[in-house]
Amino acid sequence: MLSWNVRGFNNPQKREVCKNLLKEWKCDIVCFQETKLSSLNSFVVRSLWGSPFLDWVVLDAINTAGGVLLVWDKRVFEKVDCAIRRFSVNVLFKGVVDDFVWACSGVYGPNEDSQRGALWEELSRMHSRWNTAWCVFGDFNIIRYPSERLGCETFSPAMFAFSDFIEGLHLLGLEIRGQIVCQELIEPWHRWIGWNTLVMCLKGFSLV
């Protein structure tokens, strides 16, 4: 499972780099943020995944701002239902082998504090919609603690609101494995590829 802020998929060479890394990492589910494409088609998605066994949902960028793409291996997970919202793509999955049903939300959050309340409400409604095991991941564009951002020394109301959202839905942050290795792998492309992610799930449920 991978969450990746790619900061734009406009460049074919960049997409080729992403495809090669995904082949190496062998992820079953990938959430790309900031695609910066107002329209994504199957040709572009397949050029990223490099396998015919895929399914996907997308939240198109507005002009060249934002955009979320969630791609998965359909040999592993089957889509039962999906919902595309203002800041997120949401899929109800069923395991192909074990029939386990769970929900997944891929997020690219707003940069303006005034819009973040709408994101928390949107995700809360998705949680209530399916009322099952739930994993939410992506780039929320907000931190919980000042230590998470260089030069930030004080808490803000937006940070407290983020913590309230996490605690209110009883979410638990998952350990991000392999982050240092991945940073080293993509270092030559640091101007192209961002690494800023948070993975959370309901307490008592783990994807690891």
Q: How confident is the model over 156-194, as pLDDT tens digits?
A: 999 999 999 999 998 887 655 544 333 333 343 333 333
Asked whether the predicted pLDDT for residue 101 surpasses 80, the reply is: yes
Tell me: is residue 153 an annotated ligand-binding position.
Answer: no
Query: What is the average pLDDT score of the chain?
Result: 83
In a domain, 208, yes or no: no
Predicted local confidence at residue 47, as pLDDT = 85
Per-residue pLDDT tens digits for 27-72: 899 999 999 998 888 888 988 887 889 999 999 999 888 999 999 9
User: Range of 178's domain?
Assistant: 2-202
Per-residue pLDDT tens digits for 114-129: 999 999 999 999 999 9
Predicted local confidence at residue 200, as pLDDT = 55
Tell me: is residue 5 an annotated ligand-binding position.
Answer: yes
Specify the CATH number for the domain of residue 62: 3.60.10.10
Predicted local confidence at residue 203, as pLDDT = 46
Percentage of the chain lying above the pLDDT 70 cut: 83
Between CA 33 and CA 43 the distance in angstroms is 18
Across 6-10, 100-104, 108-112, least confident range: 6-10
Domains: count for the chain: 1
Asked whether the predicted pLDDT for residue 136 surpasses 60, the reply is: yes
In a domain, 207, yes or no: no
State if pTM tops 0.85: no
